[in-house]
Amino acid sequence: MKGPRGDRWCLALLFALMIATAVASIRFGAMDFSFSDMAAAAWGWLSGAAGLSLDQRIFINLRVPRALLCLLVGACLGAGGTLMQGLFRNPIVEPGLVGTSSGAAFGASLFYVFGALFKVNLGAWTLPVSACAGGVISTYVVFTLAQTRNEGRSSILRLLLTGLAINALFMSGIGFLSYVARDPAARSIIYWNLGTLSGADWNSVLVVGAATAAGLAPAIALAKPLNALMIGEEEAAALGVNVRRLKWTVLSINVLMVAVATAFTGVISFVGLIVPHILRILRGPDNRFLITGSALLGGILLSLADLIARVTLRPAELPIGIVTAVVGVPVFLSLLSSRDYLS
Amino acid sequence: MLAAENLVFRAGSRLLIDHVSAAFEPGLLHLIIGPNGAGKSTLIRILARLLRPAEGRVLYDGRDVASQSARDLARRRAMLSQAVEVAFSLPVRELVLMGRYPHFTARPGAGDEQVCDEVMKFFGLAGMADRCYGTLSGGERQRVQFARVLAQIWRPVEGATRILFLDEPLTFLDILHQIDFMNKIRGFAAQKDAVVVGVVHDLNLAARFADRLLLLHQGRILAEGPPPGVLVEEHLRPAFGVAPVLIRDAATGKTHLVFEDRGPA
């Protein structure tokens, strides 16, 4: 079905799928909970009963926030990918490409290796704050360096290449840190770079939730100007779009969502790249559908990946970065080969 | 009425537009001609407020464009460029509807859909509504882009002249479509509330279709006025470095230009 009505149906379907994945991901894991267990735990928690069993506390304080964090982080990465591909008018962009995620990873690695020397100690917040700061700083560096002198605007290609270069620089910094680090720190760095949701708790859900809401609400309003940008910067300007302001708004939203999400979960690649493509193949490139749709599908994909990461080797779990690609690539490649998407 | 006052534009230390003043009247087709690097595209972009001049100002109906909102401007001013690249493959109708973006907030209204229908019919695109832009030929793409641009200013705007800019719109068209395009442009320019300013390379098309010509050379206006007074040897030789041979067609009264077979001196 085409048009706005079809879009609404499709979003409703994605929303239902998201709920279903979320339910599956709180039900299964290192330990399975039946629906009656889940209901009992939720009832006990909501009614403020003091006597929650250990299992019930695991469910309420670990399993549920983890499922929610998956949805939120997936939404950030999916929507971030759509925004950045739209802004750069380029299908190979992923949200971390302008330095955000490698900078965040470098900030986190610094914390793991030299955290004890940090002058400011924010307790449990030190890791996310240093990762987030790293992401914001590196993105800012990329933008400053990519500013062209004569026209005062960042040409797209220059921005991408600067992003690649700065990414390489931060990756070598991370490599150096993990090389000099002693074992628990070195292992943490590797683990963090593959992404993990095992640190999920209600605090991280609240912070990432706030960042997601603060990013998604204005992003949805940018759909129309981003559509206009499909036909070029000058053409969009002729249609009344303030391209410069659009660029800065999109980039700020993306940095906010990606830096905060990465700060709590580590580097999760690939979701932000393929989610927008999957939806574009299925329903075309209209951003009025794509931004919300990719937030939902990003959440679905990350929840599924996390579920698989938790149940494959249980009670141990895989880093999620390994699973996202294994789940996403076959779907992506089969859609890519079955449609004339790139013509 | 569109007026330019003393425009100056620099790229680094190079002076691309050197104190240009000009007036463009409604109801007439104005074409800017000149050799490569004369500043034609720069001038038309300044007039459309897509570039900001270092000095001088552009006035639409006597009001400085620098003080107007981008959206208000977009409801009355449209610009067709050569070779628009579309990043993701869109259906033709969606692209034409983009021309209505300045006129609606979230979703197009019935009026916008109707304008879209009319414009697509005008350009013979009615049967192509669902085709993907990426699968069209170069000439078809240019027609779709022209339809999008005209959709933007298809209806008269209360209290304002509509202004259409064309930057080498004929580049990818064969001769039949070039003439068809120029006739459509003339038709639009004949309206009392429409100013049309275009840049073209082909001097014969300029001679045949323009009401007023503006010959630009090294960022300055070398000559302006009706074509017969502009397309003469004393203007064309310094500007283009070749001398024209003017052939007058007794049947139509039109002048055709042929050039000496001699490269740049």
Say whether pLDDT at A42 is over 90. Answer: no
Question: What gap in Å lies between CA B146 and CA B117, rounded to an integer?
Answer: 14
Which residue from B79, B87, B152 is facing A89, i.e. has the nearest CB? Answer: B87
Length of chain A: 343
Please state, in angstroms and rounded to a whole number, the distance separating the CA atoms of residues B196 and A8: 41
Q: Is A283 on the interface with B (CB under 8 A)?
A: no
* Confidence band, pLDDT 50/70/90 cuts, at residue A98: confident
pLDDT surpasses 70 at A154: no
On chain A, the residues whose CB falls within 8 A of the CB of B78 are 238
- Predicted confidence (pLDDT) at residue A48 exceeds the cutoff of 50: yes
pLDDT reported for residue A150: 47
User: What domains are defined for chain A?
Assistant: 3-338 (1.10.3470.10)
User: Is the pLDDT score of A343 beyond 60?
Assistant: no
- Select the residue from A149, A231, A277 to test the B interface by mutation, using most B Cβ atoms within 10 A: A231
Position A89 confidence tier, pLDDT thresholds 50, 70, 90? confident
Select the residue from A151, A160, A235 to test the B interface by mutation, using most B Cβ atoms within 10 A.
Answer: A235
- Strand (E) or helix (H) holding B7: strand B2-11
Q: How do strand B29-33 and strand B194-199 relate by DSSP bridges?
A: parallel
Query: Tokens standing for A27?
Result: 């039900």
Please report the pLDDT score of residue A244 as a whole number.
84
Q: Which stretch of A143-152, A281-290, B134-143, B244-253 has the lowest confidence by average pLDDT?
A: A143-152
Out of B74, B84, B102, name the one closest to residue A231 (CB): B84
If you average pLDDT over every residue of chain A, what do you get? 85
- Which pLDDT belongs to residue A121? 67
Weakest-pLDDT range from A148-152, B20-24, B227-231: A148-152
Of A90, A232, A242, the CB nearest to B70: A242
Which residues from B are below 8 Å from A91, CB to CB? Answer: 88
Q: First vs last Cα of chain B: how many Å apart?
A: 40
Q: How confident is the model at residue A295 (pLDDT cuts 50, 70, 90)?
A: very high
Q: What is the mean pLDDT of residues A217-243?
A: 92
In sequence order, the 6+-apart residues with CB closer than 8 A to the CB of B167 are: B41, B44, B45, B79, B80, B81, B82, B198, B199
Contact check, Cβ <8 Å, B99/A239: yes
Contact: B78, A238; criterion CB under 8 Å: yes
Query: What is the ipTM metric for this complex?
Result: 0.89
Q: Distance (Å, rounded) from C-alpha B214 to C-alpha B226?
A: 9
Percent of chain A scored above 90 by pLDDT? Answer: 31
Instruction: Give the residue from chain A lying closest to B134, CA to CA.
Output: A343
**Predicted pLDDT at B185:** 93
Please check whether residue B87 is in contact with residue B93, taking contact to mean a CB–CB distance below 8 angstroms.
no
Residue A210: both structure tokens together: 């706030």
List residues bridging with A279 in a β-sheet: none
A288·B78 Cβ contact <8 A? no
Backbone conformation region of residue A139, classed left if phi is above 0, alpha if psi is from -120 to 50, else beta: alpha
pLDDT band at A317 (very low <50, low <70, confident <90, very high): confident
* A229 has a chain B CB within 8 A of its CB: yes
Q: Does A287 touch chain B (CB under 8 A)?
A: no
Task: Share the mean pLDDT of chain B.
Answer: 90
Q: What is the pLDDT of residues B178-223, one digit of tens each?
A: 899 999 999 999 999 999 999 998 888 888 899 999 999 999 999 9
Among residues B92, B189, B104, B172, the alpha carbon closest in space to that of B138 is found at B172
Instruction: Report the range out of A140-144, B87-91, B195-199 with the highest average pLDDT.
Output: B195-199
The answer to whether residue A231 neighbours chain B at the CB level (below 8 Å) is: yes
The minimum CA-CA distance between A137 and chain B, rounded to whole Å, is 30
Candidate from A156-165, B70-79, B203-212 with smallest mean pLDDT: A156-165
A3-27 helix and A271-283 helix, angle to the nearest 10 degrees: 140
| pLDDT given for residue B59 in this prediction | 95
In this prediction, residue A7 carries a pLDDT of 86
Confidence category of residue A152, pLDDT binned at 50, 70, 90 = very low
Contact of A287 with A216, CB cutoff 8 Å: no
A222/B contact by beta carbon, under 8 A:
no
Quick one: pLDDT at residue A118?
65
Taking the Cβ of residue B16 and every Cβ of chain A, the question of whether any pair is shorter than 8 Å is answered with no
Q: For B133-172, what is each residue's pLDDT tens digit?
A: 888 888 889 999 999 999 999 999 988 999 999 998 888 7
Q: Give the pLDDT confidence of A239-268 residue by residue, as tens digits.
A: 999 988 898 899 889 988 998 888 888 888
- Does the beta carbon of A6 lie under 8 angstroms from any beta carbon of chain B? no
A274 touches chain B (CB under 8 A): no
pLDDT at residue B43 in the model: 95
Between positions 128 and 147 of B, the ones with CB within 8 A of A are 132, 134-135
pLDDT at A99 (0 to 100): 85
Is residue A78 within a helix (H) or strand (E), and if so which, with residue range?
A: helix A64-88
Considering only alpha carbons, which residue of chain A is nearest residue B164? A238
Bridging pattern class, strands B162-167 and B194-199: parallel
Who among B11, B12, B87 is closest to A230 (CB)? B87
Does the beta-carbon distance from B74 to A238 stay under 8 Å? yes
Is the model more confident about A19 or about B138? Answer: A19
Report the alpha-carbon distance of residue B121 to residue B116 in Å, rounded.
Answer: 9
**B94 or A157, greater pLDDT:** B94
Residue of B51, B88, B93 for testing the chain A interface, max A β-carbons within 10 Å: B88
Q: What mean pLDDT comes out for the span B118-140?
A: 90
